[in-house]
Amino acid sequence: MAKAAREIDLIDARPAFRQADADALNQRFEGVDTMTMLRTVFAEGLAGHVAVVSSFGTESAVLLHLVAQADRNVPVIFVDTLKMFDETLDYRDTLIGAFGFTDSRVVAPRPEVIAAKDETGLRWSYDPDGCCDIRKVEPMARAKDGLDAWISGRKAFQSVTRQNLPRFEVEDGRLKLNPLGDWTKDDLEAYFAEHDLPRHPLEAQGYLSIGCEPCTSKVLPGEDPRAGRWRGWDKMECGIHSPISAAPETGDSDEPANQPVF
Protein backbone atom coordinates (compact mmCIF):
# COMPACT_ATOMS: atom_id res chain seq x y z
CA MET A 1 0.00 0.00 0.00
CA ALA A 2 2.82 2.37 0.92
CA LYS A 3 4.54 1.59 -2.36
CA ALA A 4 1.34 2.29 -4.28
CA ALA A 5 0.91 5.59 -2.48
CA ARG A 6 4.44 6.61 -3.36
CA GLU A 7 3.83 5.78 -7.02
CA ILE A 8 0.68 7.89 -7.05
CA ASP A 9 2.57 10.78 -5.52
CA LEU A 10 5.20 10.50 -8.23
CA ILE A 11 2.57 10.50 -10.95
CA ASP A 12 0.79 13.52 -9.48
CA ALA A 13 4.04 15.46 -9.28
CA ARG A 14 4.73 15.22 -12.99
CA PRO A 15 4.19 18.32 -15.19
CA ALA A 16 0.74 18.55 -16.73
CA PHE A 17 2.19 19.19 -20.19
CA ARG A 18 5.35 18.00 -21.91
CA GLN A 19 7.06 19.11 -25.09
CA ALA A 20 5.48 16.23 -26.96
CA ASP A 21 2.06 17.68 -26.15
CA ALA A 22 3.05 21.07 -27.56
CA ASP A 23 4.53 19.42 -30.66
CA ALA A 24 1.31 17.51 -31.26
CA LEU A 25 -0.80 20.65 -30.89
CA ASN A 26 1.47 22.62 -33.20
CA GLN A 27 1.09 19.88 -35.80
CA ARG A 28 -2.67 19.63 -35.37
CA PHE A 29 -3.26 23.36 -35.78
CA GLU A 30 -0.69 24.09 -38.45
CA GLY A 31 -2.37 26.27 -41.07
CA VAL A 32 -5.57 26.64 -38.99
CA ASP A 33 -6.76 30.21 -38.53
CA THR A 34 -6.36 31.74 -35.07
CA MET A 35 -10.04 32.03 -34.22
CA THR A 36 -10.78 28.41 -35.13
CA MET A 37 -7.77 27.29 -33.12
CA LEU A 38 -8.87 29.19 -30.01
CA ARG A 39 -12.46 28.01 -30.23
CA THR A 40 -11.32 24.41 -30.59
CA VAL A 41 -8.84 24.64 -27.73
CA PHE A 42 -11.49 26.08 -25.41
CA ALA A 43 -14.36 23.85 -26.54
CA GLU A 44 -12.34 20.63 -26.26
CA GLY A 45 -10.53 21.66 -23.09
CA LEU A 46 -7.16 21.03 -24.72
CA ALA A 47 -5.38 23.52 -22.45
CA GLY A 48 -7.15 22.61 -19.22
CA HIS A 49 -7.61 25.54 -16.85
CA VAL A 50 -6.39 28.41 -19.01
CA ALA A 51 -6.28 32.21 -18.72
CA VAL A 52 -5.13 35.01 -21.00
CA VAL A 53 -2.46 37.37 -19.66
CA SER A 54 -2.59 40.90 -21.00
CA SER A 55 -0.49 44.02 -20.51
CA PHE A 56 -3.27 46.10 -22.12
CA GLY A 57 -0.68 47.65 -24.39
CA THR A 58 -1.01 49.04 -27.89
CA GLU A 59 -1.68 45.67 -29.57
CA SER A 60 -3.54 43.91 -26.75
CA ALA A 61 -7.03 44.56 -28.10
CA VAL A 62 -6.56 42.08 -30.96
CA LEU A 63 -5.82 39.05 -28.80
CA LEU A 64 -8.43 40.00 -26.22
CA HIS A 65 -11.09 40.43 -28.91
CA LEU A 66 -10.23 37.03 -30.40
CA VAL A 67 -10.37 35.33 -27.00
CA ALA A 68 -13.66 37.04 -26.14
CA GLN A 69 -15.22 35.91 -29.42
CA ALA A 70 -14.09 32.36 -28.70
CA ASP A 71 -15.11 32.30 -25.02
CA ARG A 72 -15.60 35.46 -22.97
CA ASN A 73 -15.57 33.42 -19.75
CA VAL A 74 -11.84 32.77 -20.08
CA PRO A 75 -10.15 34.68 -17.21
CA VAL A 76 -8.11 37.78 -18.08
CA ILE A 77 -5.09 38.45 -15.86
CA PHE A 78 -3.43 41.86 -15.57
CA VAL A 79 -0.28 42.44 -13.54
CA ASP A 80 -0.50 45.92 -12.01
CA THR A 81 3.07 46.81 -11.05
CA LEU A 82 1.84 50.00 -9.34
CA LYS A 83 3.99 51.87 -11.87
CA MET A 84 1.55 51.73 -14.78
CA PHE A 85 0.34 54.67 -16.87
CA ASP A 86 -3.10 55.91 -15.83
CA GLU A 87 -4.03 55.59 -19.50
CA THR A 88 -3.25 51.86 -19.39
CA LEU A 89 -5.51 51.33 -16.39
CA ASP A 90 -8.31 53.19 -18.15
CA TYR A 91 -7.72 51.20 -21.34
CA ARG A 92 -7.97 47.96 -19.38
CA ASP A 93 -11.40 48.96 -18.09
CA THR A 94 -12.45 49.99 -21.60
CA LEU A 95 -11.51 46.69 -23.23
CA ILE A 96 -12.87 44.46 -20.47
CA GLY A 97 -16.21 46.24 -20.70
CA ALA A 98 -16.33 46.46 -24.48
CA PHE A 99 -15.52 42.78 -25.03
CA GLY A 100 -17.77 41.49 -22.24
CA PHE A 101 -15.27 39.43 -20.26
CA THR A 102 -16.84 37.90 -17.16
CA ASP A 103 -13.66 37.17 -15.17
CA SER A 104 -11.11 40.00 -14.92
CA ARG A 105 -8.29 39.51 -12.43
CA VAL A 106 -5.62 41.91 -11.19
CA VAL A 107 -2.49 40.81 -9.35
CA ALA A 108 -0.04 43.26 -7.75
CA PRO A 109 3.28 43.06 -5.92
CA ARG A 110 3.16 42.25 -2.22
CA PRO A 111 3.25 45.42 -0.06
CA GLU A 112 5.76 43.91 2.34
CA VAL A 113 8.11 43.05 -0.55
CA ILE A 114 7.89 46.58 -1.94
CA ALA A 115 8.55 48.01 1.52
CA ALA A 116 11.61 45.81 1.97
CA LYS A 117 13.11 46.01 -1.50
CA ASP A 118 11.88 49.22 -3.12
CA GLU A 119 10.98 51.56 -0.29
CA THR A 120 11.84 54.66 -2.35
CA GLY A 121 10.09 53.40 -5.48
CA LEU A 122 13.24 54.07 -7.49
CA ARG A 123 14.67 50.58 -7.96
CA TRP A 124 13.76 50.80 -11.64
CA SER A 125 16.42 53.52 -12.04
CA TYR A 126 19.40 51.43 -10.92
CA ASP A 127 18.25 47.79 -11.10
CA PRO A 128 15.49 47.26 -13.67
CA ASP A 129 15.80 43.46 -13.49
CA GLY A 130 15.30 43.52 -9.74
CA CYS A 131 12.37 45.90 -10.11
CA CYS A 132 10.72 43.64 -12.67
CA ASP A 133 11.30 40.62 -10.43
CA ILE A 134 9.40 42.03 -7.47
CA ARG A 135 6.76 44.02 -9.35
CA LYS A 136 5.99 41.74 -12.29
CA VAL A 137 7.62 38.30 -12.31
CA GLU A 138 6.73 37.25 -8.75
CA PRO A 139 3.12 38.53 -8.97
CA MET A 140 2.75 36.77 -12.31
CA ALA A 141 4.00 33.52 -10.76
CA ARG A 142 1.26 33.80 -8.14
CA ALA A 143 -1.34 34.56 -10.79
CA LYS A 144 -0.44 31.36 -12.65
CA ASP A 145 -0.97 29.17 -9.57
CA GLY A 146 -3.72 26.71 -10.42
CA LEU A 147 -3.47 27.29 -14.17
CA ASP A 148 -2.67 24.48 -16.58
CA ALA A 149 -1.98 26.92 -19.40
CA TRP A 150 -1.82 30.60 -20.21
CA ILE A 151 -2.18 32.69 -23.34
CA SER A 152 0.42 35.26 -24.33
CA GLY A 153 0.17 38.13 -26.79
CA ARG A 154 3.75 37.86 -28.05
CA LYS A 155 4.46 38.33 -31.74
CA ALA A 156 7.63 37.29 -33.55
CA PHE A 157 8.09 40.65 -35.28
CA GLN A 158 8.25 42.61 -32.02
CA SER A 159 11.94 42.02 -31.35
CA VAL A 160 14.86 39.68 -31.99
CA THR A 161 14.13 37.93 -28.68
CA ARG A 162 10.72 36.80 -29.99
CA GLN A 163 11.59 35.28 -33.35
CA ASN A 164 10.35 31.83 -34.39
CA LEU A 165 7.59 31.68 -31.81
CA PRO A 166 5.59 28.44 -31.89
CA ARG A 167 1.86 28.55 -31.30
CA PHE A 168 2.24 26.13 -28.42
CA GLU A 169 5.18 25.67 -26.07
CA VAL A 170 5.73 24.27 -22.59
CA GLU A 171 7.08 26.31 -19.72
CA ASP A 172 7.53 24.80 -16.25
CA GLY A 173 4.96 22.12 -17.01
CA ARG A 174 2.34 24.61 -18.21
CA LEU A 175 1.18 24.95 -21.77
CA LYS A 176 1.85 28.41 -23.17
CA LEU A 177 -0.14 29.61 -26.16
CA ASN A 178 1.08 32.29 -28.56
CA PRO A 179 -1.92 32.69 -30.88
CA LEU A 180 -0.49 35.77 -32.60
CA GLY A 181 3.09 34.52 -32.88
CA ASP A 182 3.11 34.60 -36.68
CA TRP A 183 0.95 37.71 -37.11
CA THR A 184 2.57 40.74 -38.75
CA LYS A 185 2.02 44.39 -37.92
CA ASP A 186 -0.12 44.66 -41.06
CA ASP A 187 -2.26 41.75 -39.85
CA LEU A 188 -2.85 43.52 -36.54
CA GLU A 189 -3.69 46.83 -38.19
CA ALA A 190 -6.13 45.12 -40.53
CA TYR A 191 -7.86 43.43 -37.59
CA PHE A 192 -8.09 46.71 -35.67
CA ALA A 193 -9.73 48.34 -38.70
CA GLU A 194 -12.06 45.44 -39.52
CA HIS A 195 -13.46 45.28 -35.98
CA ASP A 196 -13.10 48.99 -35.12
CA LEU A 197 -11.21 48.16 -31.93
CA PRO A 198 -10.34 50.87 -29.37
CA ARG A 199 -6.72 52.05 -29.51
CA HIS A 200 -4.47 52.69 -26.52
CA PRO A 201 -4.61 56.45 -25.89
CA LEU A 202 -0.79 56.74 -25.77
CA GLU A 203 -0.16 55.06 -29.12
CA ALA A 204 -0.82 58.20 -31.13
CA GLN A 205 1.88 59.94 -29.09
CA GLY A 206 4.57 57.49 -30.28
CA TYR A 207 4.44 54.84 -27.54
CA LEU A 208 4.44 51.60 -29.54
CA SER A 209 5.20 49.21 -26.67
CA ILE A 210 3.91 50.22 -23.27
CA GLY A 211 4.96 48.91 -19.88
CA CYS A 212 5.63 50.72 -16.63
CA GLU A 213 5.68 54.50 -16.91
CA PRO A 214 9.28 55.10 -15.69
CA CYS A 215 10.74 52.54 -18.13
CA THR A 216 8.70 53.37 -21.24
CA SER A 217 9.61 55.99 -23.83
CA LYS A 218 8.48 56.91 -27.32
CA VAL A 219 9.77 54.88 -30.27
CA LEU A 220 11.58 56.79 -32.98
CA PRO A 221 10.97 56.15 -36.71
CA GLY A 222 12.77 53.01 -37.88
CA GLU A 223 13.37 51.66 -34.39
CA ASP A 224 12.40 48.21 -33.13
CA PRO A 225 8.83 48.43 -31.73
CA ARG A 226 10.19 47.59 -28.26
CA ALA A 227 13.07 50.08 -28.41
CA GLY A 228 11.17 52.34 -26.03
CA ARG A 229 11.30 49.78 -23.24
CA TRP A 230 14.16 50.16 -20.72
CA ARG A 231 15.92 52.59 -23.03
CA GLY A 232 19.62 52.86 -22.20
CA TRP A 233 19.76 49.43 -20.59
CA ASP A 234 20.86 46.07 -21.96
CA LYS A 235 17.39 44.68 -21.33
CA MET A 236 14.66 43.52 -23.71
CA GLU A 237 12.24 41.51 -21.53
CA CYS A 238 10.68 41.91 -18.10
CA GLY A 239 11.38 38.28 -17.17
CA ILE A 240 7.91 36.83 -17.66
CA HIS A 241 8.88 35.69 -21.16
CA SER A 242 12.53 34.87 -20.54
CA PRO A 243 14.61 32.36 -18.55
CA ILE A 244 15.02 34.95 -15.74
CA SER A 245 13.29 33.53 -12.68
CA ALA A 246 11.54 35.47 -9.96
CA ALA A 247 13.78 36.52 -7.10
CA PRO A 248 12.97 34.95 -3.73
CA GLU A 249 11.14 37.23 -1.36
CA THR A 250 13.96 37.35 1.14
CA GLY A 251 17.72 37.15 1.06
CA ASP A 252 18.31 38.28 -2.52
CA SER A 253 20.89 40.87 -3.47
CA ASP A 254 19.92 44.44 -4.24
CA GLU A 255 22.92 44.85 -6.52
CA PRO A 256 22.03 45.75 -10.13
CA ALA A 257 21.85 42.76 -12.45
CA ASN A 258 22.36 44.85 -15.61
CA GLN A 259 24.57 47.78 -16.40
CA PRO A 260 23.26 50.83 -18.26
CA VAL A 261 24.38 51.29 -21.84
CA PHE A 262 25.15 54.86 -22.84
For residue 4, which amino acid is it? A
Q: Residue 156: its pLDDT value, please?
A: 73
SS3 per-residue string spanning 9-52: HHHHHCCCCCHHHHHHHHHHCCCCCHHHHHHHHHHHCCCCCEEE
Q: Residue 252: its pLDDT value, please?
A: 41
Q: Residue 240: its pLDDT value, please?
A: 55
Please write the tens of the pLDDT for every residue from 160-169.
544 578 999 9
Query: What are the start-end ranges of the H helices in 149-206?
Result: 185-195
Residue 122 has pLDDT above 50, yes or no: yes
Q: Residue 254: its pLDDT value, please?
A: 39
Which active-site residues does the annotation give? 238
Which is more confident, 136 or 258? Answer: 136
Per-residue pLDDT averaged across 224-231, rounded?
Answer: 74
The CATH label, of 3.90.950.10, 3.40.50.620, 3.30.70.20, 3.30.470.20, for the domain at 17-215 is: 3.40.50.620
Whole-number percent of the chain with pLDDT over 90: 66
Residue 215 has pLDDT above 80, yes or no: yes
Domain ranges of the chain: 17-215
Q: Residue 232: its pLDDT value, please?
A: 58
Paired residues of 150 in beta bridges: 51, 176
Residue 12 has pLDDT above 50, yes or no: no
Residue 89 has pLDDT above 50, yes or no: yes
Contact 150, 177 (CB under 8 A): yes
Helix, strand, coil percentages for the chain (3-state, nearest 5): 40, 10, 50
- Residue 245: pLDDT band (50, 70, 90) is very low
Distance in angstroms (rounded) separating the CA atoms of residues 77 and 53: 5
Please write the tens of the pLDDT for every residue from 49-88.
999 999 999 999 999 999 999 999 999 999 999 999 999 9
Please write the tens of the pLDDT for every residue from 205-214.
988 889 999 9
Highest mean pLDDT pick, 1-10, 78-87, 205-214, 244-253: 78-87
